[in-house]
Structure 1
Amino acid sequence: MQFKEYGAWALLVVLTAGACARPGAESQQPAPTDAAEPEEDTTEEPAPRRRSEPSVEPRIANLVGLMPLSSTGADEFLREHPAFDGRGVLIGILDSGLDLGLPGLDETTTGEPKVLDVRDFSREGRIELELITVTGDTLSFGGQTLSGFGQVAGLASPPYYAGIFRELPLGTVPAADLNGNNNNTDEFVMLVVRTVSGWALITDVDNDGRLDDEAPIHDYSVASERFSYGLKDEERDKGLMTIAVNFSEVDGRPVLDLFFDNSAHGSHVAGIAAGHNMFGRKGFNGVAPGAQILAIKISNNARGGLSVTGSMLRAMNYAADYAQQRGMPLILNMSFGVGNESEGEAAIDSLVTEFALKHPDVLFVISAGNEGPGISTIGFPGSAEHILSVCALYPGVFSGSRPAGLAIDADVIADFSARGGETAKPDVCAPGVAFSNVPRWNLGGEISAGTSMAAPQIAGAAALLQSARLQANRAARATDLRQALIASARRYRHATFLDMGAGVPNVNAAHEWLVAGHQAGVYSIRAQPDGGNTSLLEGAYRRNGLASPADTLQRFVIRSVAGQPAARFLLRSDQRWLRAPEVLELSGGPATVEVTYNTRRLRTPGLYVGTVYATPASDTLAGPAFRLINTIVVPRTLNQPFVEGRDLGPGRFQRYFFAVPEDAGGLTVEMEVRYRTQRGSLFLFEPSGQPFRGGGSEEAGRESRVVRIEVRGEDLIPGVYEAVVVAPDNSALSYDIRAALPRYTVDQIGTGPSAVIRKRANVPELIQDAAVFQRSNDSSANTDDVRVTATDIGAVTTITVSGTGDTPKLLPVAVPEWTREMIVDVRLPDGAWNQLTDFGLTLFDSAGAQIDIGPLSFGFGRHEFELARRYRGKTLQLEFFPGYAHLQPPPSWQAEVTIYLIARTPAKLDAAGGDTTAIILDPGESTGLQFLPPETRAMPDGFVPLIEVVAMPAGGAPMRRWGRLN
């Protein structure tokens, strides 16, 4: 399951003390027709320059608190209880791997090995081995010759096996440059022999062409051995990438997997959770420096951090078995996740929930996802039950200067942090930015942001609590650790449960909860299909508003799932519009709670979130045992263009919901910051909660005070869209937002080319000050005409791609010389996304070198591939790579793939019947327009011209549509 993270921009904040917002997506609109094509730089891109020092001197980073431990009180807890530092606890890092050569990941506070074992379930480091025969002192294999084999023969008798470890499949430089020579085309011979200690690897680590100066490297679990290329054995921990070895057997033959971190994500996460004396600085620690680590690689990093088929499930089970065999309490951390397409139906959620119930002594901590700030964006498996789903804060220490009266250490909710909806998630929040370990090839990338960084904060906090309980000879159950953290959490006053869950935990308070002897139950909650509720999970969710004035009742069914005794709960609502009974009696079977809504308090457009808290009557000091979450959206109809001005404080956000009918033809949302010194971000989310596929965010205030997001006709999905305006974390924002449906629509693009233009029925009266989207430099805004233009912007094709099992599928694409970029839409069949944990999309050149990655986050994905000059006129390869939740993939899969080739120079088309700039229609009336055919371009087989038609009224929102000329 691929991860997202936000790194370089966070570093910029620290160095410039400026505000920071998530980068906006680039617009997909083609260049203006009359724009001159810019001259191109035809030189080859140089290899990325490798840094030799961290982005911030580690001493300074530690001094100023760039490993933010104070938000959860972890630093205070460790000062008061230095021995409760995680010792005795095992943290499983299910991630991209881990670099074993990093200071901070070598030993614990008590001198024990930090990393007990490493396993690779991703197959990215799998080396295909062949049985070989060697005579004499020379080994010849894979086009390479290595001397010194005689000493190997003296160490181990036949059989001998050999394979090739290639840099090219590992991605791009610098991650794929194993020996530091600034390319990714090297190949290394891997010789496998059997020694008295088991299978061992011998490889030419120092690149001198000899094997007689190399030591055998065994499975990491045997001797904790590892190596780095380009270095002598005594300097093995100073290489760009440190590699360990895993061996297994099939029918007596060795199976070799190499364990490494060519992403840096897993190393960064591990440092946050349990780093000790990182960067060689005494006292520069993660949350639980005394804990030990089990590092399990689940992702193919070169393809964008893709979890592969069954890797999550294998990793979970391996970790649980490993901890059980050694009698160690286990905390699992998985900082991975993709978007939920239909909450409650993902296979991996069911597997994780089943695992949590089967292993009541294992606490599973999972990142909530980075698709925020819209609601209904929690990713799976962060939406699984009985785990801790973690959202992200943006720590104040990374924000630079702040207005007078606002503390420098004030944290805000990170805009990227996913929000709940159908799920009663997230559970808790923690800092989602940190300065932590990265492999040496990634020096300069020490600061990263995402819920990936928040989850290990909570995993580390849980290890502190479990360490304290172990030393009291009272190991805590996972459900008690979970509930202690939730009970200790406090939510920001302006935030809802959807934003932060219970809030930010406090480790000391959680410790006191456990010491007090409180115990938590395990309950399953399901909102019933009442009224407008569309949720299948714990939260009642009415995104389309109340189904009718009579939609006032919502039922929840509560079940005890861990054999707990009968219990009595006191129920309390936190909203005046939400009422619940005072008491719930829960005994052997399920119980139903009926809550009611006061619809008179639910009339103003906006978001309403109400929670019913259920507290054990026998232990009210324990806090709520569970919560019943109710979410109701009251959308705006946009019968008139919407205009609002508002002020937001630092880090605050404002939501707007717009009901868009099926015949709307498009949607335009615009945000303008009032002062050039300010900045702000505009986000748009589709009715499903997915970020708008055409580019879900824009930032205003740098290059322009006004940003606009347009939903083209073919991209429109009927339902309730959500727009969110977010202020920078360290400064206020004054802004105006405008939203409107188009008065005129482009209903279709046909042969010829032709277009059908329609004026929507029941359009609002055109009023000068209400027509908020005017044609630029147009003095005729008091007329109701529409200007229609058509442009040949490139070529398009749609094909069905089929594959077998989980085997990657390659699709060749011939790219004409005239191409500027390639846009690829991938649409999976209904329900297919729920069986996956990932679906990779990667572009390669003809030699197999990676150009770019665009893994899917939902069952529909769109990615823009910018094409450098050297790729034009060539045949490139698109790779599709599914990863399934279960151990075995289905026999086959398919996807609908649309490929857009966008021209560097769009060509405006003349109207066949004359001028098209003054069309006037009555409401509901439509007309057809014919355009002269475009000039012939060189088209790849199967492609047809791609036409864009734009209807720009004198007053009102514009509308555009892309279509194919068949």
Structure 2
Amino acid sequence: MSYPYYGLIPKRETGAHDFLLKYPNYDGRGIKMAIFDSGVDPGADGLQVTSTGTPKIIDIVDTSGSGDIDTSTVAELDAEGFVEGLSGRKLKIPVEWPAQAKKFHLGVLRLFSVASDDFHGEWKEARKEARWLAQHAKATASAMTAALASTDATAKEELEAQQEVLKALEEKYEDLGPVMDILVYSDGKQWWAALDTSETGDLSSAVPLTNYRDGLKYGTIGGIYQINYTVNILEDGNRVEFVIPQPHGTHVASIAAGYFPDAKERNGIAPGAQIVSIKIGHALIGGSNETGTSIVRAFVYAMKNGIDIINISYSEPYNWVNGGRVYEAMEMAVKEYGIVVCVAAGNAGPGLTTIGSLAASTYSLAVGAYVTPDMMKNMYGMVHKNPAIMYNWTSRGPTLAGDFGVNISAPGGAVASIPTYTLKNSSLFNGTSMASPNACGSIAVVLSGLRERNVPWSAFHVKRAVENTAKKFETNPDNRVGHGAGIVQVQEAFDWLVAYANESERDVDFQVSVDGGSGIYIRDANQTAQDCIFTATVDAEFPKKVNNYPLMAKFSLHLVLSSSEDWVHSSEFIDVSTGKKGFKVEVKTSGLRPGLHTASVHAHDATKPEKGPIFSVPVTVCVADRKVDWTVEQSGVVFKPGHPVRQFIQVPKGATWAEWRLQLVDYQDQNPSTAVDSVPAMNFEYHAVQVADSSQYKSHMFREATAIPLKRVISSVFPVSDRLGVLELAVALFWNRAASALVDWTLEFHGVKPTVPEIVYQEGEAFYRVDVDAAGRSEYFQPSVSLTHLIQPIKPTESTLSPLTARDIWPDGRVTFQLLLQYQFNLSKPATVEVTCPLLTDFLYENEIEGQMWKLYDNNKRRLQAGEARVMRSIDYTAKLPKGDFTIQLQLRHDSRKILDKLQEAVVHLRKKLATPLSFDVVPSYLSGLRGSDDKFKARILAPNQSSFFFLVPPSLEKLGKGLHGSYFLDGWLYFALGRDQVPDARRNAGAFRLKYVLTEPSRAKSPSKSVKGAHARSASKADLASKTDVALVDGKEKDSKEKEELEDPFLLHQVAFFDKVQDVKKRRELYHVFLSEDKTPIQQLKLHHGYLMSLAKTLETKKPTDPQQLQDLQGNILEAANATIAAIDLKGLLASIGTQGDSLSDEEKLLVEFNRSAMTDALYQKCLQLKSVPSDSASSATTDLLDTVSQDLRKLLDVKGDIRSAEIAAIRWARNKQYGRAFKYTLQLIEEKASAEKYRELADLARKLDWPHVADHFVEKIPILFPGKFELF
């Protein structure tokens, strides 16, 4: 028995197999196909060459930006032939590299940021096994053995500290992935990039690559990864586009155009076509989701580079069709450049109007997915075979605009190649993502034949050919919105295009419009109850090219209009020239039975009707049951595999949620030999869908797939809206079931509804009265409130408007600009947050702003989260953040500066999840709220149509902490059903209503009491008090208020503040001594010492000099200022004052003590840090003793448990005494409080001294990831 290779990538169903047997040279050769997807692996099987031996993949680009690496840092080769990479590694430049390569652009690849997260887990396990487990076990055993053998108490404590540290490292082990250096250089002719895949600095095996289109070469990250990658070098070497492919895009490309020289039976549909891989999937958005930027850039690339046909196996919900930047780019590509665009319809069926965004456009060819008996047997290994059928999950039309949506169908499954890093040669995928490339490949072979014969075509003519020659399914309304015109047929489409190549309408775009839509879509019960008359308009448009003007002047078509169904009538004739022409369409809906009805008004050429429709007006009518009931029952509904059953129901007035119960009562096996017990459950997919204009389907959709056991009842609940009218229930038995099913179902509507659609309650207003009405059945009623999130609106602190580079310039010369907005916020405690831009976040394809990418960074510029539009509801954009300062960057893009200027103040929302939801008290009367009594609103039964009311009493906000502002609001839900313990959460949530509680400005601080006059009444840190309260105890003597006035002298305060403004450290020291030489009291001198010291410390922390001599001078100045500050304060007297604080000191005197304590603490701390910088091997015993003395003094002043500086001093002291385990322990504490690259290097150094090289490598590798030093590129 021969293996059915033909079933791996189905070709017989579309006629592609026979067509290529007849015309082997029409196999796609001469056709450039772009794959807009997640990236195509150039090393995957079947993707190296075409059937003619030419390169298969002729370009690979990433338009998402997720692989962009900043290489703007430039370094020169040193005398020994090394360059220090951004990873910190010394990179040895091979002598074989060009002699011109003396300057290098440096970048760093953080692999887990750009590679598919599907495999991070496997890689982490392999890395841990190779780099950590054995080494760590050895180090732990060594420390334990030494501790058991040790008799010295100090040594034993050190070894015990080592064991404690090793245990903590194992428990907190986190692999952030490998870091690899990238070097970019020019050989005088072109740019090259090399990746250090060794991760050691050894570049001897690194393979320099130029732009893929120029060299057609790719590199491989070997070892455990086996990742093939390509590069493009942009902006004069300052940016590298690093492209890593993913399985989805590779699989799609293999279906469309794979070629296997030694196994031609595995070929894709168009093995002769050449491919351009355009990665539109952003690695940071759900692993590989598209963005507005990536799609627009992709279309721009296609228009600039002569692409013939595009496949887009991506699909998201939309709010409206043919509007926004992405649609604009696609229209331009199709209309002006003649590019055919095949798009996956989506996998959101079986409900109606679930087709995806680009598929809903009239400019694309939307492809649905179907499965044949051969596919069932050969691909899925099914024992039985059902008739050919659409997959139950394939999305259906019509679109919101009224077009049928799905144009054609193709086989929706394939066994095709996937990337090498998966360690698999091929895999079975199914979806409309697989159907679209099958159709795309089929059309590519048609275009190949046309090009071979020099037959002209246009994208519109190709679409008409494919639709008019498609193989029809059984005619019924469901098929028209499911599979479109039918299954694409290669031979028939080719013959049609050859026969009608010179028709006058070949290049014409016929845009049909009916009341602003592209068809007629009737669901409203009022419309279906009476006949309707519509005015349809057809607009005949040529591409905007000068050489088309004579054709436009001569163009005229005489068309005959006819309806496919007798309940639709239209004008009989129409004469169409360039421009718009209207005609009438009458839809007689009043006589239609409940259910789905479809029809078309076709326009045929009066002289050649055999061509098929030139254009059509699609008509869809969904007729609900005339009777409106609160309970709808259906018994004995028969389901055949893959065939959806639909019912349209008018939602009763007042209904807000519904409960749907389904019971599998019986089944009829198509294979009589199968025992009853072998089919214990049947798999169903069921949908409840309502439709609203300008609102994506997921906003009004319930969808679930489950196995229903025989005789069992399953129940689901979901919200409904009486405002949206008709509800569709769509149920489909899975396509691969061996039996038909008999199902009973019951739908019950429920509703308790407030008299306002949304409750917005302003803090400080009267208790909020909520009036509610029960609907058409008795309801158990117990209102409750749950506020789950605190929303913080944030305005930008910076905005920059700038033009973008070559890849963002449209073919017509328009330059795309970016508006880069920056936002700052602080968290006083850890929180789970999400960032949104309310103005834009619900729109992607239809958005006028083509990009809305945001990135969230910590204080070290490490990206913690990123996001884009929120139409992809399954993507988790939340981030768990520690306390601290954070930055958000938002990039908005458009070619109109005027539009972007209006967005300079665009607000983002920081959505913080509350650790514990807040609730309102629900009381029966206003007085109950005022009295604060236990008189709560009691649960009750509301009779049908009964009204009720209650009052909301807001909660205390103390749990939210401080820092609230008047722009903040709490977001949550008002529930009317019972709580968690009495009904399922699903029922409670289904009937919920949105509630916002808007906060007022917090109260201002009270005036300070007389005893602390001059001090801040707000809660202040000791450092705040030190800087604001200018009275000190000097030499142990108490000073009077006169000295306080001396310190508050404005000129003195100006001098102290001026230190920070002098950037040159040498000049700052000169200025310090000038200030000291002036007539100042000891107290004023102390103020200068301390202010000068802290300005120097700030410089060292934020702008540390890279020049060794400058660094040494700065450290010396800090030590000088610290000694001066210490000398100005009597430590013994200060400690005595601290010990006697209480009733013996006034409030003002206590503040003075705190100032002295703060100044002395700062000075001792800075002195310890500078003594630490003296190398231990060159330090005298006097230096070590001094460090011990200073650290002991400092510990007397510090709160050892509450001040992290105590850990720092302990780490310094133990390291100086070569107790490295103890030093490591305290340094670990430091990075938990405030991490820095310096501390990670210290940990690595300590690990080396402890002979833990694996730990040293672990911390060094994290530095470029945790402390990148720059914000990422967009």
TM-score with structure 1 setting the length? 0.77
| Alpha carbons of structure 1 residues 672 and 698: separation in structure 2 relative to 1, 3 Å | farther
Check conservation: 2:837, 2:907, Cα contact below 8 A.
yes
Deviation, 1:308, is 4.5
Partners of 1:834 and 1:926 lie apart in 2 by: 42
State the SS of the aligned residue for 2:214: helix
CA distance in 2, matches of 1:409, 1:881: 51
Is 2:304 aligned against 1:321? yes
Contact kept? 1:824, 1:864, Cα under 8 Å:
no
The equivalent of 1:585 in structure 2 is 575
Deviation of 1:104 after TM superposition, in Å, equals 1.0
Q: Could you tell me which residue of structure 2 aligns to residue 20 of structure 1?
A: none
Matched, 1:272 2:255: yes
| Matching residue within 913, 934, 950 for 1:928 | 950
Q: C-alpha displacement at 1:246, in angstroms?
A: 1.2
SS in 1 for 2:305: helix
Identify the residue that residue 722 of structure 1 maps to in structure 2.
728
> Residue 31 of structure 2 corresponds to which residue in structure 1?
89
User: What residue in structure 2 maps to residue 447 of structure 1?
Assistant: 428
Pair 1:387–1:947, CA change in 2 (3 A)? closer
**How much does 1:150 deviate?**
5.9
- Matches of 2:795 and 2:868 in 1, distance apart? 17
Give the CA deviation at 1:92.
1.5
**1:795 maps onto 2:783 in alignment:** no
Structure 1: 5+ residue stretches without partners? 1-58, 232-237, 324-328, 530-535, 767-783
Aligned to 2:1001: none
Say whether the 8 Å CA contact 2:455–2:498 is kept in structure 1.
no
- The answer as to 2:640 corresponding to 1:649 is yes
Is residue 950 from structure 1 mapped to residue 936 from structure 2 by the alignment?
no
Does residue 156 of structure 1 match 2:100? yes
Relative to structure 1, the CA distance from residue 624 to residue 386 in structure 2 (aligned partners, 3 Å threshold; closer, same or farther) is same
Alpha-carbon separation, structure 1, partners of 2:350 and 2:866: 24
Distance 1:119 1:663, change over 3 A: same
Structure richer in strand, relative to its length: 1
Q: Does structure 2 retain, via aligned residues, the 8 Å contact 1:419–1:498?
A: yes
Residues 224 and 739 of structure 1, relative CA distance in 2, 3 Å threshold: same
Are 1:109 and 2:51 counterparts?
Answer: yes
Alignment partners' CA distance in 2, 1:537 and 1:476: 27
**C-alpha distance in 2, partners of 1:948/1:524?**
49
User: What is the distance in 2 between the residues matched to 1:900 and 1:685?
Assistant: 31
- CA distance in 2 between counterparts of 1:641 and 1:181 reads 59
1:464 to 433, 445, 465: 445
Give 2:22's aligned residue.
80
Map residues 204-219 of structure 1 onto 2, 5 A cutoff. 204-219=196-211
The answer to whether residue 230 in structure 2 is matched with residue 244 in structure 1 is yes
Deviations 1:237-270 (A, max 9, x none): x963211121234xxx324433423543221221
Letter in 2 for 1:540: I
**Is 1:192–1:200's contact at 8 Å kept on the other side of the alignment?**
yes
Report the counterpart of residue 21 of structure 1 in structure 2. none
Letter in 1 for 2:540: S
Distance 1:795 1:64, change over 3 A: same
How far, CA to CA, are the matches of 2:374 and 2:886 in structure 1? Answer: 44
Q: 1:133 aligns with which of 71, 76, 79?
A: 76
State the alpha-carbon separation in 2 of the partners of residues 806 and 717 from structure 1. Answer: 39
Give how far 1:65 is off: 1.8
Amino acid in structure 2 at the alignment position of 1:508: Q
**Separation in 1 of the partners of 2:618 and 2:78?**
72
Q: Which residue matches 1:568? A: 558
Paired residue for 1:376?
353
Q: What's the CA shift for 1:223? A: 1.9
Does residue 634 in structure 1 map to residue 627 in structure 2? no
Distance in 2 of aligned mates of 1:962 and 1:516: 60
- Indicate the SS of the match to 2:228: coil
Closer, same or farther in 2 for the Cα pair 1:354/1:282, shift >3 Å?
closer
Q: State the 1:288 CA deviation.
A: 0.6
Contact 2:57-2:277 at 8 Å conserved across structures: yes
**Structure 1 residue aligned with 2:539:** 559
Structure with higher RCO (Cα < 8 A, 6+ apart):
1
SS in structure 2 opposite 1:302? Answer: coil
In 1, distance between residues paired with 2:342 and 2:857?
35
Q: CA deviation at 1:285?
A: 1.5
**1:311-460 aligned within 5 A:** 311-323=294-306, 330-360=308-338, 362-394=339-371, 407-408=385-386, 410-421=388-399, 422-424=401-403, 425-443=405-423, 446-460=427-441
Contact 1:310 1:887 in 2 (8 A): no
**2:221 counterpart SS class:** coil
Aligned to 2:591: 601
Q: Does 1:682 align with 2:675?
A: no
Q: Distance in 2 between matches of 1:671 and 1:841?
A: 44
Change (3 A) 1:796 1:113: same
For the residues of structure 1 that align with 2:754 and 2:376, how far apart are their CA atoms?
45
- Aligned residues of 1:822 and 1:864 also touching (Cα < 8 A): no
Alpha-carbon distance in structure 2 between the residues aligned to 1:566 and 1:657: 43
Change in 2 beyond 3 A, CA 1:919/1:552: closer
Query: What does residue 549 of structure 2 align with?
Result: none
C-alpha spacing 1:404/1:649, structure 2 compared with 1 (3 Å): farther
Give 1:844 shift. 9.1
Q: Which letter does structure 1 place at the counterpart of 2:183?
A: L
Deviations 1:796-834 (A, max 9, x none): 2234466665658788797999x9x98988754698953
What is the aligned partner in structure 2 of residue 24 from structure 1?
none
Could you say if the C-alpha distance between residues 500 and 841 of structure 1 is closer, same or farther in structure 2, counting changes exceeding 3 Å? farther
Aligned-CA RMSD value? 4.5
Q: For residues 828 and 19 of structure 2, what CA distance do their matches in structure 1 show?
A: 59
Compute the displacement of 1:541 (Å).
Answer: 2.3
Tell me the distance in 1 between the aligned counterparts of 2:324 and 2:895. 11
Q: 1:922 to 1:121 in 2, by over 3 A?
A: closer
| Higher normalized helix content (fraction of residues) | 2
Question: What pairs with 1:865-876 in structure 2 (closer than 5 Å)?
Answer: 865=876
Whole-angstrom distance in 2 between the partners of 1:743 and 1:312: 43
Give the greater-gyration-radius structure (CA). Answer: 2
The one-letter code matched in structure 2 to 1:949 is Y
1:902-913 map, 5 Å? 912-913=934-935
SS at 2:284 equivalent: helix
- Does the CA contact (< 8 Å) of 1:432 and 1:451 recur in 2? yes
Q: How far did residue 88 of structure 1 move?
A: 1.8
Q: Is the 8 A contact 1:313 1:887 kept in 2?
A: no
* 1:512-566 Cα deviation digits (max 9, x unpaired): 323434645424233333xxxxxx2321223324548665211211232233732
Going from structure 1 to structure 2, the CA distance change for 1:929 and 1:633 (only over 3 Å counts) comes to same
- Which residue of structure 2 aligns with residue 770 of structure 1? none
Is 1:835 paired with 2:826?
no
Aligned to 1:5: none
| 2:602 partner amino acid | Y
Contact map agreement 1:796 1:898 (CA 8 A) in 2: no
Q: In structure 2, do the counterparts of structure 1 residues 847 and 503 end up closer, same or farther at CA, with 3 Å as the change threshold?
A: farther
Q: CA deviation at 1:106?
A: 0.3
**Residues of 2 paired with 1:609 and 1:884: CA distance?**
41
Task: Point out where structure 2 has 5 or more consecutive residues left out of the alignment.
Answer: 129-174, 543-551, 667-679, 800-817, 924-933, 999-1274
Go from structure 1 to structure 2 and tell me whether the alpha carbon gap of 1:599 and 1:447 turns closer, same or farther (over 3 Å shift): same
CA distance in 2, matches of 1:862, 1:142: 37
User: C-alpha offsets along residues 172-208 of structure 1, whole Å, 9 cap, x if unaligned?
Assistant: 6455699974754322211111125411112323445
Counterpart in the other structure of 1:621: 610
1:258 aligns to what?
Answer: 241
Q: Deviations over 1:401-426 (max 9, x none)?
A: 99999844623244242422325322
Alignment of 1:439-588 (within 5 A): 439-443=419-423, 446-493=427-474, 494=476, 495-517=478-500, 519=503, 521=506, 522-529=508-515, 536-547=516-527, 552-562=532-542, 563=552, 565-588=555-578
CA distance in 1, matches of 2:591, 2:53: 61
Contact residue 116 and residue 246 of structure 2 kept, 8 A: no
